């Protein structure tokens, strides 16, 4: 598969929480999931990959969203390990694939950053330079 990333990513292991926004034809169809846990496994200036469970979040499944070519907006937040800065990002799903482990069914999800503050970008950039 051709690499489409705008910047290099670094392997990390950072806990995160996220919500999925499923957009519909109109406001009545828009849905926001409950807060869910994930782990960021690699991080760059333009996106990340995270592991999360494959169970539906309020009836919304990440793998189904990507399969149907409907890009879900993800509100994801985490704390930078080096500085403690709280990062809040609006991202969209880029890809999704299952991880088969005996203990759990997980999804490996690629997210493209769409909206985040200059402060968040600088905190991510500073952290990546330490790796």
Tally of domains within the chain: 1
List, for residues 97-107, the tens digit of each pLDDT value: 888 777 667 88
Task: Let me know if residue 94 belongs to a domain.
Answer: yes
List, for residues 58-93, the tens digit of each pLDDT value: 566 665 555 444 567 889 999 999 899 999 999 988
Task: Let me know if residue 50 belongs to a domain.
Answer: yes
Output the DSSP codes for the chain: -----SS--EEEEEEEEEEEEE--SSGGG-EEPPPEEEEEEEE-SSEEEEEEE-S-BTTB-HHHHHHTT-PPEEEEEEE-TTT--EEEEEEEEEEEEEEE-SS-EEEEEEEEEEE--HHHHHHHHHHHHT-
Q: What is the pLDDT of residue 68?
A: 43
Task: Let me know if residue 1 belongs to a domain.
Answer: no
Residue 59 sits in a domain whose CATH number is: 2.40.10.220
Task: Let me know if residue 4 belongs to a domain.
Answer: no
Q: Quote the domain boundaries for residue 19.
A: 10-129
List, for residues 6-54, the tens digit of each pLDDT value: 567 899 999 999 988 866 655 566 677 788 899 999 999 999 999 988 6
């Amino acid at each position: 598969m051709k690499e489409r990333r705008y910047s290099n990513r670094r392997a990390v292991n950072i806990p995160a929480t996220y919500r999925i926004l499923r957009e519909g034809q109109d406001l009545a169809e828009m849905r926001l999931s409950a807060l869910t846990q994930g782990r960021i496994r690699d991080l760059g200036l333009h996106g990340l990959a995270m592991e999360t469970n494959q169970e539906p979040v309020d009836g919304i499944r990440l793998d189904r969203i990507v399969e149907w070519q409907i890009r879900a907006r993800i509100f994801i937040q985490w704390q930078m390990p080096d500085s403690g800065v709280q990062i809040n990002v609006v991202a969209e799903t880029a890809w999704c694939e299952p991880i088969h482990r005996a203990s759990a069914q997980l999804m490996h999800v690629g997210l493209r950053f769409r909206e985040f503050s200059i402060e968040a970008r600088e905190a991510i950039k500073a952290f990546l330079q330490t790796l």
